Structure 1
Amino acid sequence: MATTAMLGAAAVGSGLVPPIGCVSTRPDFAPVALAGFDELVFGGHELVDTSLLKRAEQLVHARVVPPGLPALVESDLRAADEEIRLSPMATAGDQRSAIGDVITDLEDFRRRLELDTVVVINVSSTEAPIPYGLPQHASLRALLRALDEGTAALPDSSMYAYAALSADCPYVDFTPSTGARLPALAELAAERRMPYAGHDGKTGETLVKSVLAPMFAQRALRPLSWSGTNLLGGGDGATLAEPGRADSKIQSKRRMLAEIFDHETHDAVHIHNVPDLGDWKTAWDHIMFEGFLGVRMTMQFTWQGCDSALAAPLVLDLARFVAAAHRAGRHGPLSDLAFFFKDPLGTREHGLDRQYERLVHWAHGLGGESA
């Protein structure tokens, strides 16, 4: 996903391809001052040393990227490669040191490249859920004490959220991992007056559900069960084959129906790793619903798509919108970005049409001065 986003930004910014799939380029957002695709620069942390150009070639082989396109943006990929570092989470001796290393890297990245805003977006592998009731997560003071004593137990996504907010960088969690979703980190964001957004990018099956579920509710039909089977390969498939990590994704995907319907619906989500699918995924949903006079009916749909191609433009949208929010002085959870997430922060609205209306209204309030 990260490689597709970086390659795509370079290709769109150079006028080589149209920005299909990028919500922020719709006419509704023309009055909003957003950074141009050619103004975006990239860096990141990785656990492996495979070059972006090599990854782009793999994406060509997987039919995600058009043949010949990586060569046309090779200079952009090499420039981004120069800003990719080994994650301190893999080398630091304790969490305090790892967080400090990330803060130093972010501040150095911003200073060297003379950047207006650095937005940190988590697109790493899904983590297993953590207990939210740990005392060290309840307040910033308690978390600082745990870090100082070497007893902190933050997942990697939350360490990056801590580092980003401390370095005055907005944070976005495109995964269902914990990230900034802890009271201590909400307190830190308020103290630093930093915006943050999440969780779990809405790219495929759940995107369709966010259109269909409100349809049933508004039509006064009563879904009795909604079962979804997800087949996926690649890194996501391998990651979600682990039950603990799959739990995070399943919890995120199931939250919507409970919020939309005023009755209990049997909601089953199944995730299966099919390695041969690679970067492609298939979702099949079966809905049984009750109509007038108790007549039972069914609806089924199949969604097949390329995960990276669906997610990458939304990552670029979020970078542009969150940077604009930061410049406008917005801080705290950006609930108006719910349109992009399965499990949005700060709102219980899951209907896609209403989320889009909120997004447009919010974006227009950011101002139209030059970025």
Structure 2
Amino acid sequence: MGTPEDLALGGWDISSASLADAADRAGVLEPDLRRQLRPHTGAMVPLRGAYDPSFIADNQAPRADHVMPDGWSKQRRLDALRGDIRDFKAASGVDFVVVVWTANSERYSEERAGLNDSADALLGAIARGEGEVSPSTLYAVAAILEGCPFINGSPQNTLVAGALDLASRHGVAVVGDDFKSGQTKMKSVLVDYLIGCGVKVKTMVTYNHLGNNDMYQLTDGVMWKPKSAAKSRVIDDIVDGNGVLYAPGEARPDHVVVVKYVPFLGDSKRDVSEYTSETFMDAHYTTVMHNECLDSALCAPLILDLALLTELLTRIDFQVGGAAPSPDAPYEPLHPVLSVLSFYMKIPLTPPGEPIVNSLGRQRAAVENLLRACVGLAPESDLLLETKCVPARGGGS
């Protein structure tokens, strides 16, 4: 398995700022550390980004000084992105490329038959220059056509049905959607814990504010819709999986998510969450939490983990055939939609027919047990049945 030291970094941006200047603008790292890094990061300038102002907030326009020409068709932009990937691979000498969308959220793309419901429809829509093909989908298609896994770290529907079909056709891994880092990860843990204890969660109200550019973008209501949906769906399977507390057809817990842009705080995210539940004899149980963290410091490790694990998973083949498959049974790769990495995502993408799992413990167990299988170890089990058996009794009267 690779390590962060094995990585070579490159990428695109609609802003021309070098990595050093972007770090100064963001103000996340300490000033002295940025000064020490500048000899290494000052020359790292992004490639021109694929830009469509209709997909992001108007407040991002001042940053868009490093974009592909307006006159370029979507097909030409796709071809340019593919060329950028090939050039980066050749110049850096890497063996494998993983493309990760870490940019701001886009608005949702329209999904309809004949536009993006199949690989052929999506490629045709790009060739025709259809307006509902988003920049992030262009990056995804470019990566897939170049044989590079694509990870969608934002909540919009980048990986439309046509993109997933294209990934399956080419056998290229994809992961989505939206990095799960702070408040949302805590929510999936706490709700799983409460419901597992027989406590019926009735309301979840979460509020957070910060002042980075990602939050600035979300002040546009259209851009907030995908993020709101991502944050609101992280407990669905936990609730649906308990038919004792929540009867079929019963309303889900009230779930409210509020975010506010506070420029002074920069990347320092503050959040307050309140959970109110019903317990024995309709008594109420309320939990309130306050968290403070650097938003980027939570996400950066996820990006590294996802890139390294995705590359590893593309090299895993397994035999299908039960506990004792035939020695002649063929080895098959994992499905291109790498749902096993749901641990890192708010809205896990899954192959057709596979249920979505949001419980953080179950998601982590899936990753751990797959890695254990790779080194010949049995899956972890909390049952520990071997320690619970009555010891065999010796002979004698």
TM-score category (smaller protein): 0.7 to 0.9
Do residues 334 (structure 1) and 338 (structure 2) align?
yes
Please report how far the alpha carbon of residue 134 of structure 1 lies from its aligned counterpart in structure 2 after TM superposition.
4.7
State whether residues 233 and 347 of structure 2, in contact with CA within 8 Å, keep that contact through their aligned partners in structure 1: yes
Whole-Å separation in 2 of the counterparts to 1:58 and 1:161: 28
Matches within 5 A, 1:62-81: 62=27, 64-78=28-42, 81=44
Letter in 1 for 2:346: K
**Residues 222-231 or 141-150, more deviating:** 141-150
Distance 1:209 1:254, change over 3 A: same
Q: Secondary structure at the match of 2:148?
A: coil
Whole-Å separation in 1 of the counterparts to 2:147 and 2:3: 22
Matches within 5 A, 1:2-81: 33=1, 35-59=2-26, 62=27, 64-78=28-42, 81=44
Do residues 297 (structure 1) and 261 (structure 2) align?
no
Please report how far the alpha carbon of residue 132 of structure 1 lies from its aligned counterpart in structure 2 after TM superposition.
2.7
Q: Which of 61, 81, 90 is matched with 1:111 structurally?
A: 90
Whole-Å separation in 2 of the counterparts to 1:367 and 1:108: 35
* TM-score (norm. length: structure 2): 0.78
Matches within 5 A, 1:347-362: 347-362=355-370
Q: Secondary structure at the match of 1:154?
A: coil
Q: Secondary structure at the match of 1:175?
A: coil
The CA deviation string for residues 177-236 of structure 1, in whole angstroms up to 9 with x for no partner, is: 2222x1111111011111111111111111111110111111111111111112121101
Q: Gaps spanning 5+ residues in structure 1: where?
A: 1-32
Do residues 131 (structure 1) and 110 (structure 2) align?
yes
Letter in 2 for 1:306: L
Do residues 284 (structure 1) and 272 (structure 2) align?
yes
Q: Secondary structure at the match of 1:256?
A: coil
Count of residue correspondences: 329
**Residues 132-141 or 161-170, more deviating:** 132-141
Please report how far the alpha carbon of residue 343 of structure 1 lies from its aligned counterpart in structure 2 after TM superposition.
0.8
* TM-score (norm. length: structure 1): 0.84
Question: Corresponding residue for 1:237?
Answer: 215
Whole-Å separation in 2 of the counterparts to 1:131 and 1:282: 33
Whole-Å separation in 2 of the counterparts to 1:111 and 1:46: 20
Question: Corresponding residue for 1:314?
Answer: 302
Whole-Å separation in 1 of the counterparts to 2:156 and 2:150: 13
Whole-Å separation in 1 of the counterparts to 2:93 and 2:375: 23
**Residues 290-299 or 326-335, more deviating:** 326-335
Q: Secondary structure at the match of 2:286?
A: strand
Please report how far the alpha carbon of residue 349 of structure 1 lies from its aligned counterpart in structure 2 after TM superposition.
1.2
Q: Secondary structure at the match of 1:332?
A: coil
Q: Gaps spanning 5+ residues in structure 2: where?
A: 52-66, 241-245, 247-251, 317-332, 377-397
Whole-Å separation in 1 of the counterparts to 2:87 and 2:259: 40
Whole-Å separation in 2 of the counterparts to 1:366 and 1:103: 33
Do residues 101 (structure 1) and 65 (structure 2) align?
no
Please report how far the alpha carbon of residue 355 of structure 1 lies from its aligned counterpart in structure 2 after TM superposition.
1.0
Distance 1:323 1:75, change over 3 A: farther
Question: Corresponding residue for 2:68?
Answer: 91
Structure number with greater CO (CA < 8 Å, separation at least 6) is 1
Aligned Cα root-mean-square deviation (Å): 1.9
Whole-Å separation in 2 of the counterparts to 1:302 and 1:322: 33
Please report how far the alpha carbon of residue 52 of structure 1 lies from its aligned counterpart in structure 2 after TM superposition.
1.2
Please report how far the alpha carbon of residue 367 of structure 1 lies from its aligned counterpart in structure 2 after TM superposition.
6.2
Bigger-Rg structure (1/2): 2
State whether residues 211 and 261 of structure 2, in contact with CA within 8 Å, keep that contact through their aligned partners in structure 1: yes
Whole-Å separation in 1 of the counterparts to 2:182 and 2:74: 35
Whole-Å separation in 1 of the counterparts to 2:98 and 2:222: 28
Whole-Å separation in 2 of the counterparts to 1:227 and 1:359: 30
Do residues 144 (structure 1) and 123 (structure 2) align?
yes
Whole-Å separation in 1 of the counterparts to 2:202 and 2:50: 47
Q: Which structure features the higher share of helix residues?
A: 1
Whole-Å separation in 2 of the counterparts to 1:317 and 1:281: 22
Q: Which of 152, 155, 173 is matched with 1:173 structurally?
A: 152
Please report how far the alpha carbon of residue 166 of structure 1 lies from its aligned counterpart in structure 2 after TM superposition.
0.6
Whole-Å separation in 2 of the counterparts to 1:133 and 1:366: 40
Question: Corresponding residue for 1:226?
Answer: 204
State whether residues 224 and 266 of structure 1, in contact with CA within 8 Å, keep that contact through their aligned partners in structure 2: yes
